[in-house]
Amino acid sequence: MAMDYRRLDVWKKSMMLVKMVYPLIERLPQEEKYALGNQIRRAVTSIVLNIAEGTGRNSDKELRYFLTVARGSTAEVEAQLLICVELGFFSE
């Protein structure tokens, strides 16, 4: 039986990140909302979704794979937000 991903601290924190990032995307300039904003949105939701998918798989090996993908998406979101700071869209 698969574990309940909603009980995992990492999933809860990832959901908090989604809730923090979505309002930031709305603050992007109009010309970036559908380019950079869409990339950020996909990456941040990918974290949550990969954790959930990994826990629904039948092996620890698959779980580790999906957690690795989620970690990669976390780095992607961080880099995208740093781009936004460098371009002056957000302050640190």
Chain segment 78-92, per-residue pLDDT in tens: 999 999 999 999 987
For range 24-51, the mean pLDDT: 96
Position 77 scores a pLDDT of 98
Architecture of the domain defined by 5-86: Up-down Bundle (1.20)
Percent of the chain with pLDDT over 90: 90
Q: Residue 29: name the closest of 83, 75, 76, 78 by CA.
A: 83
The pTM for the full model equals 0.92
Q: What burial class does residue 70 get, using C-beta atoms within 10 Å of its C-beta: 0-12 exposed, 13-18 middle, 19+ buried?
A: buried
Percent of the chain with pLDDT over 70: 98
